[in-house]
C-alpha cells in the first residue's frame, strides 16, 4: 500500500498573517506615483514656457522688422518724419506742430500725413502687420496754457482733424487716398486726445500730433476681437469748422 505523504503542518502565524500591503509599502508607492506626476508636470510646463519664449522672441523680431522697414521708407520721403522703434511712435517733427489754439496743421503737416499713411497701410498689409499690428492711435497734444478741459477738447479736435484730412476729400483733392485706403484707415486708425500729457521741452514742441502703433500680445486672440464693419460714404464731410474761431 502506497502511503501519501501528509503536507507539512502550517504555521499558525501564516494563517493569521494579513494579505494587505504594509503601510510603508503604500507610502512608497504613493511617493513614486507623486514623483512621476510631478516630473511629467514639470516637463509639460518647461515645454510650454519654451514655446511661449520662442513665440515672444518671434513677435519681438517681427515688430522690430516692421518698424525698421517703416523707418527706412519714411526716411526716403525726405520729410521730417521720425519713426521711433523703441516706443513705436511716429513723429512728424516741425510739420506735425500746431499753432496756438488751433487744431489744424499747416500745409506741411497735411503733406506729411498724406505721404506717410500709405506706407503705414502697406506695413499693415505685410505678413508681420497682419499678424501683430492692432491699431494706429492718433494722439493730439497741447501745451499747458489754459484749463485742463479746454486742452482736452482741443487735443481731441486735433486728432479728429488728422482723421478728417485723411477721409474728407475736400482736404486733399489731388493727393487724396483711394477708397480702399480710406476703408483701411477707418478700420485701423483711432483718434484720441491726450491733452498736455507727455509735454516736450518747449510749448511749441508740445503742440503736436503723433501716431502710436499698438500691437497684439502673444496670447491675444484676434478672432475674438469684435471689429465694426465700416462703409465708406461719398458724403464723408469733416464736422470741424474749416476756419478755427
Domain-located, residue 35:
no
pLDDT attached to residue 25? 73
Domain-located, residue 193:
yes
Domain-located, residue 231:
no
Cα 85 to Cα 91: distance, rounded to the nearest angstrom: 11
pLDDT attached to residue 245? 46
Domain-located, residue 207:
yes
What CATH number is associated with residue 102? 3.30.1330.60
pLDDT attached to residue 14? 52
Is the distance from CB of 196 to CB of 142 less than 8 angstroms? yes
Domain-located, residue 15:
no
Residue 17 has pLDDT above 60, yes or no: no
* Burial (CB count <10 Å: 0-12, 13-18, 19+), residue 106: middle
The pTM score is 0.77
Share of the chain above pLDDT 90, in %: 51
Cα 184 to Cα 202: distance, rounded to the nearest angstrom: 34
Domain that holds residue 85: 42-224
Scanning the structure block, which residue is given the C-alpha cell 512621476? Answer: 36
Question: Domains in the chain: how many in total?
Answer: 1
Strand segments (E) across the chain: 82-84, 89-91, 133-140, 189-193, 209-215
Domain-located, residue 189:
yes
Domain-located, residue 187:
yes
DSSP code, position 196: T
Domain-located, residue 183:
yes
Take residue 236 and report the three cell numbers written for it: 464723408
Cα 165 to Cα 167: distance, rounded to the nearest angstrom: 6
Cα 176 to Cα 179: distance, rounded to the nearest angstrom: 9
Amino acid at each position: 500500500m502506497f502511503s501519501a505523504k501528509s503536507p507539512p503542518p502550517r504555521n499558525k502565524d501564516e494563517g493569521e498573517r494579513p494579505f494587505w500591503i504594509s503601510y510603508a509599502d503604500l507610502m512608497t508607492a504613493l511617493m513614486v506615483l507623486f514623483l512621476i506626476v510631478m516630473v511629467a508636470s514639470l516637463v509639460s510646463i518647461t515645454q510650454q514656457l519654451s514655446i511661449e519664449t520662442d513665440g515672444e522672441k518671434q513677435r519681438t523680431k517681427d515688430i522690430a522688422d516692421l518698424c525698421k522697414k517703416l523707418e527706412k521708407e519714411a526716411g526716403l520721403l525726405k520729410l521730417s518724419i521720425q519713426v521711433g522703434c523703441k516706443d513705436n511712435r511716429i513723429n512728424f517733427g516741425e510739420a506735425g506742430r500746431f499753432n496756438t489754439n488751433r487744431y489744424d496743421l499747416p500745409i506741411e503737416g497735411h503733406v506729411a500725413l498724406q505721404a506717410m499713411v500709405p506706407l503705414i497701410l502697406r506695413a499693415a498689409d505685410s505678413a508681420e502687420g497682419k499678424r501683430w499690428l492692432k491699431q494706429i492711435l492718433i494722439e493730439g497734444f497741447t501745451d499747458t496754457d489754459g484749463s485742463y478741459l479746454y486742452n482736452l477738447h482741443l487735443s481731441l479736435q486735433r486728432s479728429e482733424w488728422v482723421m478728417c484730412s485723411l477721409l474728407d476729400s475736400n482736404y486733399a483733392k489731388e493727393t487724396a487716398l483711394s477708397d480702399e485706403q480710406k476703408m483701411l484707415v477707418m478700420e485701423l486708425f483711432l483718434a484720441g486726445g491726450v491733452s498736455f500729457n507727455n509735454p516736450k521741452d518747449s510749448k511749441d514742441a508740445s503742440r503736436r500730433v503723433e501716431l502710436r502703433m499698438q500691437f497684439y500680445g502673444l496670447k491675444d486672440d484676434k478672432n475674438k476681437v469684435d471689429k465694426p464693419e465700416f462703409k465708406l460714404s461719398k458724403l464723408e464731410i469733416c464736422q470741424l469748422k474749416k476756419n478755427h474761431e
